[in-house]
Amino acid sequence: MEYELILAVLGRHPNDLELAMFSLMWSEHCSYKHSKRLLRRLPTEGPHVLLGPGENAGAVDVGDGLAVAFKVESHNHPSAVEPFQGAATGVGGILRDVFAVGARPIAILDSLRFGEPAASERSRYLLERAVAGIGHYGNSIGVATVGGEIYFDQAYEQNCLINAMCLGLAPHGRLIRSAAVGPGNVLVLLGALTGRDGIGGASVLASAEFGEGDADKRPSVQIGDPFTEKKLLECCLELLEDDLLVSLQDLGAAGLTSASAEMASKGGLGLDLDVGRVPLREPGMEPFEVMVSESQERMLCVVTPDLVPDVIAVCDRWEVLCTEIGAVTDNGRLRVLDGAEVVGDLPVAALVDECPMYNLEPEAPIVSLYPSPAPVLGGGETPAEVLLALLGSPNLASRRPVFEQYDCIVGSRTVRRPDAADAAVLELPGGAALAISIDGNGRRVACDPRAGAAEAVYECSANLACVGAEPLGLTNCLNFGNPEKPHVAWQLVEAVEGLARACEALGVPVVGGNVSLYNEAPTGPILPTPVVGMVGRLPDASRAGQIGFTNDGDAIALVGPFAPSLTGSELAKLRGAAPAGDLPVMEPGAVREAHATVRDAVCAGALSSAHDIAEGGLAVALAECCVAGGIGARLKVRIDDWVRELFGEAPGCAFVVSGAEEVLGPLGRVIGRVGGDTLVIPGALEVAVSELRAVRDNGLLQYASSAVWSE
């Protein structure tokens, strides 16, 4: 059907090069043909928005003439095939998205999903190699990896998720768009040589389910070089600082094809592009190979003819390859030349704007789509045994073995390191700070896609509130299975609606994002995993909140609506329950009020600590506060239903805070006091902080096979 549409658009048969270009631009990864209509439901306007969806990255105003640009993207399929390079080039790609709008990258966060490490050598291999790839690229280029999350579930066994988020800073005046402008202007290719690596890479791999023979797809995975990207980054920022570029575009999925077509489409113009001028890593490459190569560390820019010598001079100083490969035209066509020969000639609108859009056919499943996990707990354990089992489980154990492989302080902006606070905090010039969080919970979305997706937004906002930050905008990465299947379509539709309603309730606009579909193997789809990255600002970096209890004698209070449920919880998983059932209904107004209450108290310096109650419930939140602060706590409230009250979950709603009792009283319900070396919940459990720490610290190490993890 799509080929017939191509014939109708062109009025002729396409040649092989043109067909390759159509196949990439009309792929799911490039065209969003199953989700574009749906994404219009998300709110995108707000008082701080400077760049919204459609650019390489979104950007919001953070005051004092500064903008923060940020985006999250997936590199799932390439990483499942070749985890080191797949994850590494995922980081490289998201960095380019940020400096493509003129912002200097200052931080990276990662949201990762793998199969159960206890059950699968493959899952452990993917985890270790993906983490190594992320560390290799980020550490080498000198951008701090300041936060993230990792979850494990058997649904991700064949299809891991590697979502990378980056944010950067720029003066307002340095922000640049990607639209081609000015017929007669010159098209210039910057950066690395073009090779055969990545041909049909992200654009093809991410547009189909996994199946047999996926190991044969390894040559389709791009190969990254962070040192080349560092030079390219500095070169592009200097070119923008000197006002030498008209527009700038990253070469990502589909390479020159997508970069040139999208630039032309956004500008309503055409481009002539000569593949014979493109510097090659390998001799004898065919024109179609040059156009679809996804070789990394390349950028495409538009330059006025009089400034080309100045651009070349800057590139020479940075040892960045700079080549004139074409020109902007006013005919609305993308013409591919090989010297004097025209080897492809397509209307830009046909490639970008006339891709067929498909209507989803959602249908709610009658039963859970996901099998019950193997039970770890039998149901007869004491509260103390349950707490220790949760703290030592892969999904709640300390992530220190992972994040210690990343440089989290390079750049000297990091105020709160991983594990110290619910959100990363980075200092801004003048003493203010940015806060960043990334979150999502596929099990809870699998139970109730609308409520579970909304929880991801609330959870990110709650994380920001715990450090005292007001949300400015968010980005998302929607990771789902095959949208052509009714139950996956239903998950996607419901999740987007949940995201939209939560964003509207909190007044937080969506400034960009990514959709990753067909995350599905013969064994079935992944858990529906919308990942949310949120950025906020706090006025005083020195008052950024932290998790750990600090002062002996401080009161402990519960703030916000707390209606815990075991549905989709970590305890339910350990007991072998499938992700199914209704999640608690949250009142958005009450959630927003709780977030504002905690945020204002942190900014005022009234709290010693603040931590939201999320995975594992109240008992785990208290244990994490004790471990982070190295001090115990004693509750003074009666626990009637200890399973639900201590281990039930309602992410993004309620907080555990500590401070002076006269301050906490008006904020919430005082439930205990900080002190001693033991966590005590009368009538339920009494566990030494040292034991809590030991179990939590060893949770992931027990699955490690590499020497690095054991150090």
pLDDT at residue number 217 = 45
Predicted confidence (pLDDT) per residue in 617-659, tens digit = 999 999 999 999 999 999 998 888 899 999 999 899 999 999 9
Banded model confidence at residue 207, pLDDT cuts 50, 70, 90: very low
Is the pLDDT at 441 greater than 60? The verdict is yes
Distance CA 649, CA 600 (A): 24
Distance CA 563, CA 636 (A): 19
Banded model confidence at residue 208, pLDDT cuts 50, 70, 90: low
pLDDT at residue number 200 = 60
**With pLDDT > 70 as the criterion, what percentage of the chain qualifies?**
96
Q: Between helices 255-267 and 16-25, what is the axis angle to 10°? A: 70
Catalytic sites, residue numbers: 29, 75
Predicted confidence (pLDDT) per residue in 216-231, tens digit = 444 557 788 999 999 9
SS3 653: coil
Distance CA 198, CA 89 (A): 11
106-131: average pLDDT: 92
Residue 646 phi, psi dihedral angles, 5° rounding: -90, -30
Q: Mapped to the 3 state alphabet, what secondary structure does 552-602 carry?
A: CCCEEEEECCCCCECCCCHHHHHCCCCCCCCCCCCCHHHHHHHHHHHHHHH
E strand segments, 52-184? 58-63, 66-74, 104-114, 144-152, 161-171
Distance CA 472, CA 469 (A): 9
- Other C-beta atoms lying within 10 Å of the C-beta of residue 91: 31
- Other C-beta atoms lying within 10 Å of the C-beta of residue 676: 15
pLDDT at residue number 218 = 44
66-72: average pLDDT: 97
Distance CA 66, CA 175 (A): 10
- Name which of 222-226, 233-237, 434-438, 687-691 the model is least confident about: 222-226
Distance CA 381, CA 165 (A): 39
Is the pLDDT at 206 greater than 90? The verdict is no
Is the pLDDT at 446 greater than 90? The verdict is yes
pLDDT at residue number 220 = 54
Predicted confidence (pLDDT) per residue in 49-60, tens digit = 999 999 999 999
Mention every residue, 6+ apart, whose C-beta is less than 8 A from residue 597.
559, 560, 667, 668
pLDDT at residue number 640 = 81
Is the pLDDT at 476 greater than 80? The verdict is yes
Residue 29 phi, psi dihedral angles, 5° rounding: -65, -35
Distance CA 440, CA 529 (A): 7
Predicted confidence (pLDDT) per residue in 496-542, tens digit = 999 999 999 999 999 999 999 999 998 899 999 999 999 999 999 99
pLDDT at residue number 202 = 46
Pairing between strand 270-274 and 333-338? Answer: parallel
- CA-to-CA separations, 606 to 138, 432, 555, 627, in angstroms, rounded: 36, 18, 12, 22
- Cα–Cα–Cα angle for 65, 69, 75, rounded to 5 degrees: 170
Predicted confidence (pLDDT) per residue in 300-349, tens digit = 999 999 999 999 999 999 999 999 999 999 999 999 999 999 999 999 99
- Residue 445, Cβ density class (10 Å: 0-12 exposed, 13-18 middle, ≥19 buried): buried
Q: Where are the alpha helices (DSSP H) in 360-513?
A: 383-391, 400-403, 442-447, 449-467, 486-506
Mention every residue, 6+ apart, whose C-beta is less than 8 A from residue 313.
none
pLDDT at residue number 211 = 56
Is the pLDDT at 704 greater than 80? The verdict is no
132-161: average pLDDT: 94
- CA-to-CA separations, 368 to 151, 579, 613, 648, in angstroms, rounded: 20, 7, 26, 20
Is the pLDDT at 366 greater than 60? The verdict is yes
Decide if 51 contacts 59 (C-beta within 8 A).
yes
Mention every residue, 6+ apart, whose C-beta is less than 8 A from residue 594.
462, 465, 559, 560, 561, 653, 654, 655
352-370: average pLDDT: 91
Q: Where are the alpha helices (DSSP H) in 632-679?
A: 642-647, 661-667
Mention every residue, 6+ apart, whose C-beta is less than 8 A from residue 552.
631, 674, 675
pLDDT at residue number 690 = 98
- CA-to-CA separations, 37 to 360, 377, 589, in angstroms, rounded: 10, 44, 28
